[in-house]
Amino acid sequence: MPLYWRTETAGPTNPLPRHPAAHWWYTLQDEAQAVGQGEAASLLALDLEDSNEAAPARPILMSPEQAQALHRGGAIPDQADPLAALLERVRDGLRDRTLFAPILPKAAQCGCAPLGTTPPLELPAVPSDSTVIGVIDDGIAFAHPNFRMGQGRRSRFASVWQQDAQCLRGTTSDVPFGHVFGRTEIEERLARADFDEDRFYQALPVIGQAGHSPFRHRRLHGTHVADLAAGAGRGDAIDTDPEKFPILAVNLPTALVSDTGATFMAGAMILGVQDIMRRTETMMATAGQAFPLVLNLSFGLGGIGKNGGHLIAAALEQAMDYWHQTHGAPMRVVLPAGNTLQSRLVARAEIAPGAPHRATLRVAPENRGSTYLEIAVARRAQKPTHASLLVKVTPPTGAGLYPPALPQGPMALDSALQLVEQTDNNGANGLAQFGIYYGFQRDFAPEGDTAPGDGVEIVTVALPPNAAKDPYRPLPPCGDWTVEVSLAPGERQLRDIELRVLRNDVPNQINPVRQRSWLEDSAYVTYAADGHMSVELESAGCAVSRAGTLNALCGGRDIVTVAAAVGNRQALSNYSAAGPGGPLAEGANVTLHACADDAAVNPGRRAAGARAGSVVRMSGTSVAAPIVSRQLAIALSSWHQSAQDDPAGFAPIDDLISRGPYRPQDRAGLGGIAAPDPVGAAVATEEPG
């Protein structure tokens, strides 16, 4: 079958930045739709520079038809403000400040008539000295008794946005998809189910794919995290005064979370954050008082910025600034540092004229996710017209895939180069084997000497999955792909480059067959001389590094980034990532650590399983983060009795620290919060009397 290179360049008439994940999705989506297997995705547009003190940037939801038209460069139907104004700014060539994020195609859109007679969402009246705990995760089992009060009859949730639930309120819904369960509805459903959790979840509208509700499982990431962050039974202020710690939750779709290439993460995450902020503001208006807000997002992304990581991080920093300035109350965002210290996802090299860097990207078989490798020039500059790098990708030896010669460089920025196989059955677009995307990410949170418009060149190599449930196309091979990064013709200056493979693994309970992709280097040292897993940040003579493996969502100065430590040792967990952040996130670093593993031989921390009486053990920095969120919420609750004059500086993180810091500080931050009592707190759950 003939192979050829297809080049597409974004321009004024097709201004969609070639966000590789989104572009790759549209390519695969086009193919799938051509054979009747795909569904069109809608698009979220967020102009991060369109925010001010009065309101955070509001996302605009574009329909699948509008998204397709934008992608193809055609006339966009049904334009009205604010979309028209945003597109105008985008066409001015300033599109890099706009996040275009696809929305999961199967999210139940709210454009249709309401189903049944679900009343409008009402938020509860909460005490005026409340502190709100926000949790964005997947699988928060919101009927669990650990999230109830009033002898188990009342819910501590003020609202839960189940993003992949059937939209019951139809056109009257105030969210674009899914369903928001308010406290009143949760309590009514609990009563109707006679407080039986199985009955409660069975009676919910369809969530995700029919028959595959996440709440049937025993181990749920979101439930474990929410229990640590806000659950009952730990003998602290949350137990004493549960009314004053209302919980606002967003349940992300499981299908979205299982794609750690984060194709759909950015849009869902940003909408979720805004949902929590908006609902908190409504409760504040009723109470006549501003509330401190702690937001826990136990997610990690790899990569640099083109997947939206930098944009999400910037959005989170903007949200905190907005809260402090507009409401004069503290807001904290807590993120996990990431678990990828040992994952071989980061490499650094220097390239010179005639001296390219050759990286080996090992892609395991049975890889059901796309593999993205981002290559960034580790230097900020104004956006050039052409890329300073030239990337050549060679498929694994023996794969039988022989691409023709690459087009001559230099490549124009905002261009996509795809190796396409022309087939008889798959339409005019053919089947894309892999893609190389030359892009530029503007710095949205510039500090210091950064000039406006400065950013980082990023080339992204995108490989589709090599295993699929129902393959309608030949799949690319597994094995060692060679990625050669050289200076573009005409470039003379040495460049430091950073290579990052986006995470491509998920917790077992979501997808046990998901394999990872990673960078191979024979000089990489896995085990130290004493037989333990090495935690040295660098291996001599090796480009692959453990340094800078931080979660790409951890943007800048204000996000609280939590590493993982071991309870019974003066040590960090050997997977806990190291700062600083990558290009565009140099200011990001680990803030502190918390105990995510009771012991080296007994990893993880125990917290709620999906049902009352069920306790499960989970590990990782996403377990450490909610431990800190809880302590922060309790500390911030004294804001109401304070002078209330410094929302950003109130209850500094140093106050929580009582351990370490351990070495190196890139992984430990300022130190850690206390390890738990070895006996462990009794988990007391209240059942209705």
Partner 1 sequence: MMTALMLAREGITGSWQPPEVTARSVIDSPDLGHLSGPPQTAVIDYELMAPLFIDFEQVVPEDGPLRGVAYLCHSDALHPGPLVELMRLAAPGPDVFAQQLDYLHHYADLRADRMEEIDVQLTDLTSFFAALAHIHPARNKATLAFIQAALRFCAMVQFRIKHGFGCPRPSCLSPQIQPMIQTPAHGSLPSGHATEAIFLATLFKALAEELSQGLEGERAAWLQQFNTQCDRLAVRIAASRTVAGVHFPVDSAAGAVLGDTLARYVLARVKAPAPGDPAAETPVPWRKLDADMSAFGAADYTVDTMASLRDGGAINGQTVTTVTTGELPLRYSPQLNWLWSACRAELRRGAPEQES
Least Å distance, CB 541 to partner 1, is 42
Least Å distance, CB 685 to partner 1, is 15
211 vs 354, beta carbon nearer partner 1: 211
216 vs 557, beta carbon nearer partner 1: 216
- Single out the residue of 7, 39, 82, 216 in contact with partner 1 (rule: CB under 8 A): 216
Residues that contact partner 1, how many (by CB under 8 A):
12
Local structure of residue 327 (DSSP, 8 states): I
Contact 477, 466 (CB under 8 A): yes
DSSP calls for 503-541: P----TTT-TT---EEEE-TT---B-TTSSBP--SB-TT
217 vs 357, beta carbon nearer partner 1: 217
Least Å distance, CB 206 to partner 1, is 12
Using rule CB under 8 A, residue 198 touches partner 1: yes
163 vs 213, beta carbon nearer partner 1: 213
Residue 6 burial (C-beta neighbours within 10 Å; 0-12, 13-18, 19+) = middle
- Single out the residue of 72, 153, 199, 569 in contact with partner 1 (rule: CB under 8 A): 199
The values of phi and psi at residue 176, to 5°, are -75, -20
- Single out the residue of 144, 148, 217, 221 in contact with partner 1 (rule: CB under 8 A): 217
- Single out the residue of 36, 116, 120, 211 in contact with partner 1 (rule: CB under 8 A): 211
What does the alpha-carbon distance between residue 615 and residue 622 come to, in Å, rounded to a whole number? Answer: 17
| C-alpha torsion sign, points 207, 509, 335, 524 | negative
394 vs 509, beta carbon nearer partner 1: 509
Least Å distance, CB 258 to partner 1, is 13
Least Å distance, CB 198 to partner 1, is 7
Using rule CB under 8 A, residue 169 touches partner 1: no
Hey, what are 241's tokens? 């005064």
Using rule CB under 8 A, residue 512 touches partner 1: yes
What does the alpha-carbon distance between residue 623 and residue 224 come to, in Å, rounded to a whole number? Answer: 8
How far is Cα of residue 107 from the mean position of the Cα atoms in its chain? 17
201 vs 437, beta carbon nearer partner 1: 201
Using rule CB under 8 A, residue 58 touches partner 1: no
Least Å distance, CB 216 to partner 1, is 6
Cis bond before residue 330 (omega within 30° of 0): no
Residue 251 burial (C-beta neighbours within 10 Å; 0-12, 13-18, 19+) = buried
Q: Exposure string (b/e) for 590-612, b if CB count within 10 Å is 16 or more?
A: bbbbbbbbbeeeebbbbbbbbbb
Stretch that binds partner 1, among 172-180, 195-203, 241-249, 626-634 (CB under 8 A): 195-203
Stretch that binds partner 1, among 50-58, 193-201, 234-242, 362-370 (CB under 8 A): 193-201
Least Å distance, CB 254 to partner 1, is 11
Using rule CB under 8 A, residue 202 touches partner 1: yes
Using rule CB under 8 A, residue 192 touches partner 1: no
Q: Which three-class secondary structure state does DSSP give residue 542?
A: coil
SS (HEC) of 563-632: EEEECCCCEECCCCCCCCCCCCCCCCCCCEEEEEECECCECCEEEECCCCCCEEEECCHHHHHHHHHHHH
For residue 593, the cross-strand partners are 563, 672
Stretch that binds partner 1, among 140-148, 213-221, 337-345, 665-673 (CB under 8 A): 213-221
What does the alpha-carbon distance between residue 81 and residue 4 come to, in Å, rounded to a whole number? Answer: 41
For 85-212, where are the E strands, in sequence order? 98-103, 132-137, 148-149, 154-155, 157-162, 179-182
Local structure of residue 325 (DSSP, 8 states): I
Stretch that binds partner 1, among 52-60, 125-133, 215-223, 623-631 (CB under 8 A): 215-223
56 vs 208, beta carbon nearer partner 1: 208
Stretch that binds partner 1, among 169-177, 191-199, 349-357, 561-569 (CB under 8 A): 191-199
- Single out the residue of 58, 192, 218, 532 in contact with partner 1 (rule: CB under 8 A): 218
131 vs 254, beta carbon nearer partner 1: 254
DSSP calls for 135-153: EEES---TT-GGGEETTTT
- Single out the residue of 212, 532, 557, 663 in contact with partner 1 (rule: CB under 8 A): 212
Task: Tell me how crowded residue 33 is: count the other CB atoms within 10 A of its CB.
Answer: 16
Least Å distance, CB 239 to partner 1, is 25
Least Å distance, CB 621 to partner 1, is 24
Using rule CB under 8 A, residue 144 touches partner 1: no
Contact footprint for partner 1 (CB under 8 A): 196, 198-199, 202, 211-212, 216-219, 509, 512
